[in-house]
Structure formats: structure tokens, C-alpha cells
A and B are shown apart, each in its own frame.
Chain A
Amino acid sequence: MKRNSWQEYQKEIADDHYFYVRSCIRQNFFPGSEAAFLNILRNDLGRDVGEEARHTSCTGIGYHSDIVPLETIMTVVARQFAMMTEAGYEHFTSSCITSFGIYSEILETWKEFPETEERTREYLYKATGREFKKPKSLAHTSDIIFHHREQIGKQAVRPLVNVETGEPLKVVEHIGCHYAKLFPKSGIGGSEFPYVLAGMIESWGGEVVDYPERRHCCGFGFRNYLVQANRGYSIANSQKKLESMAPYKPDFIVANCPGCTMFLDKWQYAIAEMEGTTYGPDGQGIPVLSYEEMAGLVLGYDPWELGMQMHQVAVEPLLDKMGVRYDPAAKYLARNGKYIGQPEEAAVNLRCTSQPIIRKL
């Protein structure tokens, strides 16, 4: 790919001592990913990541759905910053792209309209008695993985290569809209050719697939999804992307936004059930991974440890291609060995639910 322009959009990413805030969607649907992020950073890379159990949702979903006013969300964000300040950190990192967009937007608003920052400080103090410092740097967690991608590459046990053919895996990357479309300078590679995930893929031996609808939204769209009658618009967007990428026969999709990961995965199930269309080989779906899961697989983590059984589209075909060893029987067992239930048979997971389940009660 003659794509070098990403280098014109670089941003400062701190090397260590991050204050980590979680994502509503990721912690509910991909809890293994957040755990993996912390493990990779702390254990594999030896970095310091601080956390605060009392931090809340950024309320971005409510904000984008017109039910949380601007003043409120600014105060909530200020509270998160106060937590960071109290914990003695300066580098703020968020797991969620929506939150990342919210933080970027609010910091930018405070810069342009300092009186709003003043008012927010006042609201926060009145409500909680807290005070805060603005973070020195703001990064999305994918920025941080990108920052350490070479080191992860060095420690890689399973590069993104098809073990049978020796060919690099073809990876479709999807960047959440609020990563760089709000402020192109806030994302690595800008908004047109973001490089944050592509950089990881290339460093870990995979091949990035550029396809026509690459920049298109996954269709989450907050209000479009939240109102059932509007979901047709939401799903149509995912379908547009899937149709556009299917001819390239990608091995998997990786996204940096929790919402996108969820919708690209779950809408494949819905489309298959509603229309009978699937986009992967042999009537299956295209597996959708979070970048934490991708990094985890590269570093040799167990797929069920990474929470990949939570996916709607079965990941086993990909694991087989990568040569990942896994216990099919353990897929739907919790850490304590308890059966966690399993999805009904569906087109996108057909071959992978027919395995006999050993119930260990």
C-alpha cells in the first residue's frame, strides 16, 4: 500500500504510568479484553497502570442520545480527571472510543471556551468537593498498544501468520468513528488513513486489507441502535461494510472501539438469521477481535482466558489458522469450571457449538 501519509499525523504517547478508565460496553461484552490489556501492560511490558474502582461511565452514550446535558457530562469527566489527579497520575487512557472522543471534545471545549472549564470546576467542587488537574496526555488504549507494538512483536509467540500456508493473515481493521473523525490530530494517522491498528497488524506479521468502505461507520450510531425501530439503519451500515470487505476474504476483523467490535460481531449473526447471508468462507462469519484479543493471541494467551467464547461469530477457524491450541470442551466453562451457558446454534457459529459440552458441576 502506497500509504505513507499516516506519518504526518503523529501524537505524543506517554511511555509509562497510565491512569486507566474502563468502557461500559467492553467490560460487559469483552471483559477478557480489559483484563488482557492490564496483563499485557503490567506483566508482559512491565508498565505501571493505575486504576480507581470508583470511576464511572463517562455517560457518553447518554450524551450522544440527548439525555445527558453537556454540563453534566463535563462534570462527570472532571470527576474522572480528579480521580486521576488524586491517584497521582498524569497520563489518562480510556478503553472506550466513545469516551476517548468525549474526553478529547471536552478538553478541546475547555481550551476554546475557558469559562466552561471554570464552571465545571465549580460544579464538581460543589457536588463532590473534588478538584482536578487536566491530564498531561490523553490516549486511547489502542494508542498505548500501538506505542508498544514493536516490543510486543519481539515477545510474540504466534505472529499473525497462517501456519498452514505461511502467508500473512489478511486483517480488516476498523477504527471507531470517534477516534479521529472528531479531531484528526488526536489519532495516529489522522482520520483518512488511521494507522493505529494497521501498525499493530504490520508489526505482528499480518497484512492489512484496505477496502472501499474502510472508513465507514459500523452503524452503532447510539440513537440508531437504542431505538428498536431504528435498528434497520444501524444494521444496514454494518452490512455495507461486510459486503465491501467480503471479496478480500479477510481472516478476521479487528476494531479498536468496543461498540464497533460488538456490532460487527453481533450484526453478522442478525444478518445471517434475517437474510441468510454470511460473509466468511463456507457460510461462516468473519471473526471479529478486539485489538487486546489480537495482542493476547500474539503473546500466546489462551483464547478462553481472553474471553473469546463471548463472541457471536465463532473464532475457532481463526485459531486453527494461527495454530492456537485450545480446549474445545473448555469453551463455555468459567474459570471455576462452572458451565456458563452457550449460544443457540446459528449460521455464524454452526460448527463450533456442535462440540459435546462436558458439564462439570
Chain B
Amino acid sequence: MVQFGYNISQPRAINMDKNDMMISQKILRTMPELQTCIACGSCTATCTAGAITSFNFRKVHTLVRRGEYKGAYEEMNKCMLCGKCRLSCPRGINTRGVVMLIKQELGEYR
């Protein structure tokens, strides 16, 4: 193949037609309460790990729900499971459970 000094950029759009939604569906079946997230961001604002890294729990689980799994496991691994987010979540989501679940479903060792 010929090299012209540039590549064809991959689209940035989340393509819900191509994404494999199986894992996302399984996660939501296991913890339907995750679907009630209203993206208030209080989890991320109070996050112990988020204070010293770019970890954004809300964003990562939203991406996972859209079938964008790449990097989610690594991101979730930044979490220290301290539980502050669970105390601040107005929807009562078991956030620590979500972290564990996403890691279990997306960890490569599985």
C-alpha cells in the first residue's frame, strides 16, 4: 500500500451501529440502576482519584453504556473504591459496584 504522508483518520463519532452492545447490555441487566444516572457529576467532583488524575467515573461509565469499551478498564482501575461517590450520588447508584462490574466485564484477563 502506498504511503502519502498521512493516514485516513478514524471517525470520532460513537457509532452505535458498529459498537458491540452485548457487554453494555449485560452490565445494565446486572445493575439497572446505572441507567438512572442523570449525569450530575457529583461522583466525579468528589472523587479521590479524580483529584489527582483525569479519572472521570461518570464519563467512563457513560461511554461503556454506549459500547465504547476501549480504555474503560484502565480508567476504572484508577478508582480506589473509597466510596465517596456512592455517598454523594443523588440517584443512589451503587457506584462501587459499577466500578467492580465494569472491570470484571472488560478486564482482558477474563
Contact = CB atoms under 8 A, between A and B. Distances in A.
A–B contact, 8 Å CB criterion (strictly below): yes
Interface of A: 228-233, 235-236, 239-240, 270-271, 273-276
Interface in B1-23: 1-11
B18 to A, nearest CB: 11
A275 B6 contact: no
A231 B4 contact: yes
- Main SS class of interface, B: loop
* 9 nearest A-B residue pairs (beta carbon): A232-B9, A273-B2, A231-B6, A236-B9, A232-B6, A232-B7, A233-B9, A235-B8, A236-B8
A275 to B, nearest CB: 7
Contacts of A235: 6, 8-9
Contact of B11 (A230, A231, A236, A276): A236
Contacts of B11: 236, 240
B1 A275 contact: yes
Interface in B32-71: none
Contacts of B4: 231, 270, 273-274
A274 B5 contact: no
10 contacts: A228-B6, A230-B6, A232-B9, A233-B9, A236-B8, A236-B9, A240-B11, A274-B2, A274-B4, A274-B7
A276 B8 contact: no
A285 B58 CA distance: 44
A276 B6 contact: no
- Main SS class of interface, A: helix
A229 B7 CA distance: 9
A276 B5 contact: no
Contact of A232 (B2, B3, B8): B8
A228 B5 contact: yes
A236 B13 CA distance: 12
A350 to B, nearest CB: 15
Q: Which of B3, B6, B7, B10 has most A Cβ within 10 Å?
A: B6
A232 B1 CA distance: 16
A271 B2 contact: no
B83 to A, nearest CB: 43
Contacts of B7: 232, 274
B41 to A, nearest CB: 30
A236 B9 CA distance: 6
Nearest to A238: B8
B10 A274 contact: no
Contacts of B5: 228-229, 231
B1 A274 contact: yes
A236 B6 CA distance: 11
Contacts of A231: 4-6
Contacts of B1: 273-276
B107 to A, nearest CB: 32
Contacts of A232: 6-9
A47 to B, nearest CB: 43
A273 B1 CA distance: 6
A228 B10 CA distance: 16
Nearest to A270: B4
A232 B7 CA distance: 5
A239 B8 contact: yes
Nearest to A267: B8
B1 to A, nearest CB: 6
Contacts of A273: 1-2, 4
A235 B5 CA distance: 12
Contacts of B2: 273-274
A240 B13 CA distance: 11
A211 to B, nearest CB: 15
Contacts of A230: 6
Contacts of A271: 8
Nearest to A235: B8
A236 B10 CA distance: 7
A236 B1 CA distance: 17
Nearest to A224: B9
